[in-house]
Amino acid sequence: MIRSRRSRSLVAAVATFLPRPLRRFAHTRLLGYRLHPTATIGHAFIDIDSLEMGEGARIGHLVMIRGCEEVRLGAWAIVQMLVWINSVRAEKGFFRDVERRPALIMGHKSLITMLHFIDACDLVELEDFASLAGFGSLVQTHAVDLQTLRQNCAPVRISESSLVASRSTLLPGAIVPSCSIVAAGSVVNGKLVGHQLFGGVPARALRETDLSWGYFNRPRDGAPGAW
């Protein structure tokens, strides 16, 4: 496995354009990524320290993942096309004296659809069956403290069986609770509570979700269906 940071970046760039068998060889043998035999990566630029993909997990075409120390996709987790996941490694010296984990962790059958931007300078976590859906959403884990003029970080979590709809913004420290929905165009700037439909700027509870809906009761076994 290649250790040099510069060489790894070069291999990651070249692998983007290789046919699938050679791309898989570069990812597994040269970069040391751990891929289940059924996991697939499209024509994507992936320049990170550690990647693990479970059964049926998939990263689509034209995805860029860079700077993360760890990316982990559980079984049947999917990142669709045209997603940009960017981070800054701890060794770079940014965010001094700030404890952080530059990582993306996706649980079983979790989903990130198209055209999203994810700042993973701190942990971004999608629990089992969680979805960053639609398109055009921003997940942000770092911001400037205007009082102290320092960069701060906080992790972001989309909890189990929850959905964040199009053009939403999740700010540092945002937590979407389980079995809830964030309506399109909303801004989540802290911890939300309850099984609710949330919406607005900032997002607030609008009404309870119906836990009998099919979205909240998808089967754990087997490949994902239409969703």
* Longest pairwise C-alpha distance within the chain: 52
Surface-to-core class of residue 29, CB atoms within 10 Å of its CB (0-12 exposed, 13-18 middle, 19+ buried)? exposed
- Burial code (b: 16+ CB inside 10 Å, e: under 16) for 101-124 equals bbbbbbbbbbbbbbbbebbbbbbb
Does residue 102 lie within any of the structural domains?
yes
Quick check: is 8 in a domain?
no
Using CA atoms, how far apart are residues 120 and 171, in angstroms rounded to an integer? 12
- For residue 4, tell me if it sits in a domain: no
Element (H, E) at 11: helix 5-15
- 100 has pLDDT over 80: yes
How far CA 121 is from CA of 45, 64, 170, in Å, comes to 18, 15, 14
pTM, two decimal places: 0.94
What would the mean pLDDT of 188-209 be, rounded to a whole number?
A: 97
Helix (H/G/I), strand (E/B), else coil: 51? strand
Q: Which of 99-103, 144-148, 207-211 has the lowest average pLDDT?
A: 144-148
* Count of beta carbons in the 10 Å neighbourhood of residue 79: 29
Cα 24 from chain centroid? 21
Indicate whether 120 belongs to any domain. Answer: yes
How many separate domains does the chain show?
Answer: 1
Residue 92 in this model has a pLDDT that exceeds 90: no
- Could you tell me if residue 146 is inside a domain? yes
Domain range for 199: 33-217
Residue 182, domain member (yes or no): yes
State pLDDT tens for residues 115-174.
999 999 999 999 999 999 999 999 999 988 788 778 889 999 999 999 999 999 999 999
Residue 16 lies in a domain: no
Rounded CA-CA distance 104/106 in Å is 7
Indicate whether 168 belongs to any domain. yes
Contact by Cβ (8 Å): 45, 14: no
* Domain harbouring 41, CATH code: 2.160.10.10
- Residue 195 scores a pLDDT above 60: yes
